[in-house]
Amino acid sequence: MSRRRQILLLAAVGLIAAASGFGMHWWRLSGASSGAEAVMRLRLPDLAGQEQAMSQWHGRVLIVNFWATWCAPCREEIPAFVKLQAKYGARGAQFVGIAIDQRDKVADFAREFGINYPVLLAGIDMVEVTRQAGNRVGALPYTLVFDREGRIVASELGKAKETELEQRLRSLL
């Protein structure tokens, strides 16, 4: 096979691979559910083992934080979430942590940090849900803010900025 044919063949294979990758990405994001719907359909166990439906918080300003105990930025941002839940919970804000971690480690962490909002447990497959909700790299922490109608109005990959989050909460409450 000539050098020119080899280059054309490689280019064609590359284009086919790129097109199928784009198609799969588009299909995943535009399927039966949006990222918001994927999160709101979740049913996950809490630290006591009781299944909780995310839909129970529909109608509140919902802040969903995907995190893990081994994640340094996650550990740094949680005290701000505790503070903001205490400050704005009575006005309709609801923080929910979804820990991609082991129950015992999460329970110890929640006690140590005085987490005052629901913490749900998930496996590594939860990363795919975060991708559907806009987390293209699948990294932690990842925080979503939902308005009272259940629409995602903000997202943050990495440590959430407390002042920006508080401003967002005030505007939604």
Question: Could you say which of 47, 62, 71, 78 is catalytic?
Answer: 71
Task: For the beta carbon of residue 160, count every other beta carbon within 10 angstroms.
Answer: 25
121 has catalytic annotation:
no
Cβ-Cβ contacts under 8 Å for 66 (sequence gap 6 or more): 98, 100, 122, 126, 130, 135, 140, 141, 142, 143
Structure tokens at 79: 């005290």
Question: Could you say which of 44, 74, 122, 160 is catalytic?
Answer: 74
71 has catalytic annotation:
yes
DSSP 10-62: HHHHHHHHHHHHHHHHHHHHHSSS-HHHHHHT-EEEBTTS-EEEGGGGTTSEE
- Which residue, among 64, 67, 107, has the nearest Cα to 85 in the 3D structure? 64
Please state the separation of Cα 105 from the chain's center in Å: 20
Distance of alpha carbon 151 from alpha carbon 161, whole angstroms: 20
Distance of alpha carbon 27 from alpha carbon 21, whole angstroms: 10
Show which residues are catalytic. Answer: 71, 74
